Amino acid sequence: MIRYRDFADLFNRMIATAPQKTALLCSPREGEGVRAITWTELASLVGARAEALAAEGHACEAILADGTAECVVEVFAAVQAGLQVALVDPLMPNRVMEPLLHTVDADCAWASSSARQTEIERILAPESQPAFGAHGVLFFTSGTTSFAKAVVLTDESLMSSAFNGSSLLPLSPDDTLLCLLPLSHVFGFVCGLLWGLSCGATVALGRGPRYYAADFATFKPTAVSVVPKLLEFLAARDALNDELALVLVGAADCPDDLLDAIRSRGIRVSLGYGLTETSSGVALSIGDDFHAMTICPEDEVAIADDGEILVSAPTCLMQGYYRDDEKTAAAIVNGILHTGDLGFLDEKGLLHVQGRKKDVLMLPNGTKVFLPEYETGITAALEERDVAAVFCGGILTLVCGSLTHKRTDSEIMKALEPAMATYPPGSRIGRIARLGHALPRTAAGDIERWKLQEELDDGNC
């Protein structure tokens, strides 16, 4: 595998060695055929746009990363022009986006819709010059336990991450990687785009959620990266094409029965573990055991006394949280990232991830409740998925979102009795709280516990 230094190095080498190789496939407008963009054409588009951006004199561009070819060009061009870049989820409402863009000093915006771009630029109010500038590529975390933080990566760290993953799961120039995931999330950007480009494969740009299933028939990919919820959706609709040979699953834990179902079709399945703070991948399963993951070649992993996963990733590690030295210092100690995840290394040195450290609930009686395991028992007992356990008002409380079955609180408590019997009395659900709407979740489907706690604190508990 070739280790590219940064975006410019990737473009320069591909232009020198495979100028007419198709870099991107896209279908920009409904009713049109698939469009192929060669490396020569892509480099020309990026170069022209970079010149225009440099002439405008802006310093930090917020890009509403909708995954189109124009969006890809804009990202590469903005970095080439020396701008600090912040990638933003285009589905995020303006009222939510506004404070995030203020925190990263964005002074211009890009959106595929000129009307939306105008809306966003009206709410920009940079108070100072960008803290990083050239090569700075910012992603917002979508964590389960805190408000979104701006993580400062670089095009160098992103290319290093792509090399790391490609070393364990290489693609060939004959492969087509289907990019379905949001480019505003580092897993989607690295494993949906850079993974393919850095291997010399063709990247087919998906057309958004409406076309998830149809894109497999249109582009006939040989590889795809997905989150578990998306894989479940695709499997239920039998959308995976016959040419598909490799599925990379990341961003959240995935049920073994779903992984087995995909593997039974002769498709190789790999489970990945990574963080925004490490520019995506840290470890990948490349053997028969989905949950036994090989550490990426440029990373090192250790396990703290309390089970926390510690990562040394000198080439992929974030520069820090944007203008937040306190949180950066808490996360990175002596160059080691404290991930907040729990896991262990087996006798072969393979990593097993067990969940979030903050998903361990410490009760007043000193008992620890590991929430993912605890909630799995609850969902199985109730045959409901939109539920969560929280400690609220001095009582272990079951929070119900959008439920499938109509039950009274007493009926729910009755149904829970077998599951709760395995726990001591002080660790059992004592109350029901109903939200009246779905639980807040990240794009990967994980419960955003901080948002849930805020709502409960505002009077629902």
Average pLDDT, the chain: 90
The per-residue pLDDT for 365 is 59
Judge whether 7-354 and 363-460 match in fold.
no
For residue 306, pLDDT beyond 60 = yes
Architecture of domain 363-460: 2-Layer Sandwich (3.30)
Q: Cα-flanking dihedrals φ and ψ of residue 356, to 5°?
A: -85, 140
For residue 275, pLDDT beyond 60 = yes
> Which fold is adopted by the domain 7-354?
Rossmann fold (3.40.50)
User: Residues for the chain: how many in total?
Assistant: 461
pLDDT one-digit tens code per residue, 15-30: 999 999 999 999 856 6
pLDDT one-digit tens code per residue, 184-233: 999 999 999 999 999 999 999 999 888 999 999 999 999 999 988 899 99
pLDDT one-digit tens code per residue, 391-422: 887 788 999 999 988 999 999 999 999 988 87
> Encoding tokens for residue 152?
């400062």
**Contact yes or no for 100/150 (Cβ under 8 A):** yes
pLDDT category of residue 339 using cuts at 50, 70 and 90: very high
368 or 90, higher pLDDT: 90
The model's pTM is 0.82
The per-residue pLDDT for 146 is 47
**Contact yes or no for 103/150 (Cβ under 8 A):** yes
pLDDT one-digit tens code per residue, 134-173: 899 999 986 544 457 899 999 999 999 999 999 999 999 9
* Domain locations in the chain as residue ranges: 7-354, 363-460
Strand 150-154 relative to strand 108-110, pairing: unpaired
Instruction: Say which residues have a Cβ less than 8 Å from residue 239's Cβ, sequence separation at least 6.
Output: 212, 213, 214, 216, 217
The per-residue pLDDT for 391 is 83
